[in-house]
Amino acid sequence: MTDTSIGARGIAGGDIRIGHIFGRAWEIFTANFLKFFIITMIVALPNTLLVGSISDPQTAPDGGLAARVLIGAIIAIVLGMLTQAVILYMAFQYLRGQSASIGDAVQKALPRLLPLLGLIFLASLGWTIGLMLLVIPGIILMVRWSVSIPVCVVERLGPVASLKRSAELTKGHRWKIFGMFFLIWLISMVIGIVIGAVMGALGHVFVLVANLLWTAAWAGYFNSVWAMIYHDLRVAKDGVDVEQIASVFD
């Protein structure tokens, strides 16, 4: 059984610690690697195939390109929201010392899909407007609303209430949250460049397969970090433990 006291020690004094979050996220990720990888691979596959058909130099462009891109984007958003909810559930079950099957996780996540889609629509609109206003406001909103998806899933709040609650939870910790997400993004970008350079010599298909595998693995860890940030913010701000947080899933 997972020792949840480790989590409590990592956020003593109402603060969150980057090393603790990364370490516990890695523990969650490695313990559930196969399940997370299957989930994120399924989600990444449609986009990979779409990008492959667009970027393949041997494929001539056609009139249906815009439609395929739009359909691919919609599928990616829906599957992405569901994936984040599924991994969040499995991560919290692990933190409380319990195991969860993929089927059980999907069953728990599905009822929150519509609120999540409403949430991502509002958040994306805010981010877009913010990025158009000299970029910085958009980044501020991204950090401010960074745990709105876990809030929506775990606390069962609507889209607007989830954004407000995320702003409340992240207040006082936003520089650390920004630093964590920036570091993960930077590592992902560097590895993506290396994959492109190494696999590029082998051909287009090898690049696509390597990017698919890396995207699936990266998404599993990224969502584990996301779950731990929300967990530690709840413990630091609300003084609750993992059992109290995850009891909503019972």
Cα–Cα distances in Å, from 155 out to 74, 215, 225?
Answer: 26, 28, 18
- Reported confidence tier of residue 196, pLDDT bands at 50, 70, 90: confident
In percent, the amount of the chain with pLDDT more than 70 equals: 85
| pLDDT at 56 (0 to 100) | 57
Instruction: Kindly report the pTM of this predicted structure.
Output: 0.85
- Reported confidence tier of residue 164, pLDDT bands at 50, 70, 90: very high
Q: How many CB atoms lie within 10 A of CB 198?
A: 12
- The answer to which of 145-154, 210-219, 222-231 has the lowest mean pLDDT is 210-219
Residues 140-148, mean pLDDT to the nearest whole number: 91
The CA distance from 2 to 45, in Å, is: 32
- Reported confidence tier of residue 192, pLDDT bands at 50, 70, 90: confident
Q: What is the mean pLDDT of the chain?
A: 84
Number of residues assigned to the chain: 250
What would the pLDDT profile of 37-71 be if each residue is shown by its tens digit? 999 988 888 777 766 655 555 555 555 666 666 77
Residues 144-170, mean pLDDT to the nearest whole number: 93
